[in-house]
Amino acid sequence: MSTLTDVNTADTAPPRRPISDPLEADASTDAVASGASVLSLEDIQKLLPHRYPFALVDRIIDYAPGKYAVGIKNVTFNEPHFQGHFPGRPIMPGVLIVEAMAQVGGIVLTQMADLQGGLFMFAGIDGVRFRRPVVPGDQLIMTVELISVKRRRFGKMRGRAEVDGQLAAEGEFMFSLVD
């Protein structure tokens, strides 16, 4: 059982569009087979292998299979890394922000019919920049879009994480499908 609280704030957070061209995409034309563009924690656990303490996405608030996903991570003080990072001034480690964005990217990849059946792992991380600290009480909103897929085994994505509309981190991620 996770110590993360499942706060339903999807009603207050506006859906985001892909990073590259916000006016180009229309999620309504790419509805998921079930017709839902929101995934609960239980839905996410059916798609991703991550579990506490490494399950870092609480909800998917918008997505288009094979294109992009927008996920929420509610940052809470009772997460284990805050005991030592840093005592008296808790800050979410940058590597966990990157991992959270990668897990949102995993939702995009697992929803692609021709890429199912395997485990996606990092193959590379490029151009990651951290713009502001993420602290307990923050809600991290992560938008991750698929840039390319090669030979159905390698993918490249661009991610962006925001808190209160301010950029917290951004970068590009490469994935490899492992049998």
For residue 18, the model assigns a pLDDT of 46
Residues with a catalytic annotation lie at 85
Which two structure tokens, joined as six digits, stand for 179? 């049998």
Which two structure tokens, joined as six digits, stand for 118? 């395997």
The series of mean pLDDT values per 10 residues for the chain, 179 residues long, is 34 42 35 64 94 96 94 97 95 98 93 74 96 98 96 90 98 91
**Measuring CA to CA, which residue among 56, 146, 153, 149 is closest to residue 101?**
56
| Interacting residues of 130 by C-beta distance below 8 A, sequence separation 6+ | 94, 97, 168, 169
For residue 35, the model assigns a pLDDT of 52
pTM of the model as a whole = 0.80
Task: Tell me how crowded residue 56 is: count the other CB atoms within 10 A of its CB.
Answer: 25
Which numeric CATH code is attached to 27-178? 3.10.129.10
